Structure 1
Amino acid sequence: MRGFVAATARTDAARDARLLSVIAIGTRGDARHLDQTLDRLTDKAADRA
């Protein structure tokens, strides 16, 4: 059980770090970079589906 909880915590932390990175890009980047990042994320999401 502890191993599962630890693995879930690591997964959550990695997801939060990626989300923070995307937010940072969105708040200080220009529209072109934001569009490129969104395209990359959309492509990765489509690959997983």
Structure 2
Amino acid sequence: MPDILDYTLAQVRGFVVATARTDAARDARLLSVIAIGTRSDARQLDQTLDRLTDKATDRA
């Protein structure tokens, strides 16, 4: 990210906060998927995987 080299200190701080927020959201989704995987039966897990795959490939 060469653009960040031209950021002001306030912009860098904002970037760090936004990155932390994005990471936290990703971690929350991952934890949710792990919980589904450990508690669900195979059919529910397959349905969840299909939905995630559809979203990842923009078929939703």
TM-score normalised by L of structure 2: 0.77
Structure 1: stretches of 5+ with no match in the other structure:
none
Higher fraction of helix: 1
Query: What is the CA RMSD across the aligned residues, in angstroms?
Result: 1.2
Structure 2: stretches of 5+ with no match in the other structure:
1-11
Count of aligned pairs between the two proteins: 48
Higher-RCO chain (CA-CA 8 Å, sequence separation at least 6): 1
Moved over 3 A (4+): none
| 1:6 counterpart (8, 12, 17) | 17
